[in-house]
Amino acid sequence: MTKKVANFDRYETLTAREREVLQLAADGLTDAEIATRLGINSQIAATHRSDLMHKLDLHTQADLVRFALRREIITMDE
């Protein structure tokens, strides 16, 4: 007997803060700039970025941007 596996959306595993960091990182902000924008220190911003990339199985900044474009988190018009 086989069990059907529902489509698993890794994006849904992100916290609200990780989603904010994803948006800002996809817009090209550095960890220091993200930290300033969110009122956190840059090491925390770097941890959020690392965690979200791990959860989404992304390995580079380019992967992150492509993911954000596919999900329409950012657009080419910005």
Residue 11 is given by DSSP the state G
pLDDT tens-digit profile of 22-68?
A: 999 999 999 999 999 999 999 999 999 999 999 999 999 999 999 99
- Which is more confidently placed, 4 or 60? 60
Residue 45 near residue 31, CB atoms below 8 Å: yes
From 64, 17, 22, 55, select the one nearest 38 (Cα to Cα).
Answer: 17
pLDDT for 2 beyond 70: no
pLDDT for 6 beyond 90: no
Domains along the chain with CATH numbers: 15-70 (1.10.10.10)
Alpha-carbon distance values, 60 to 26, 50, 63, 67, 78 (Å):
11, 10, 5, 11, 21
Q: How confident is the model at residue 4 (pLDDT cuts 50, 70, 90)?
A: low
Q: How far is Cα 24 from Cα 73, in angstroms, rounded to an integer?
A: 10
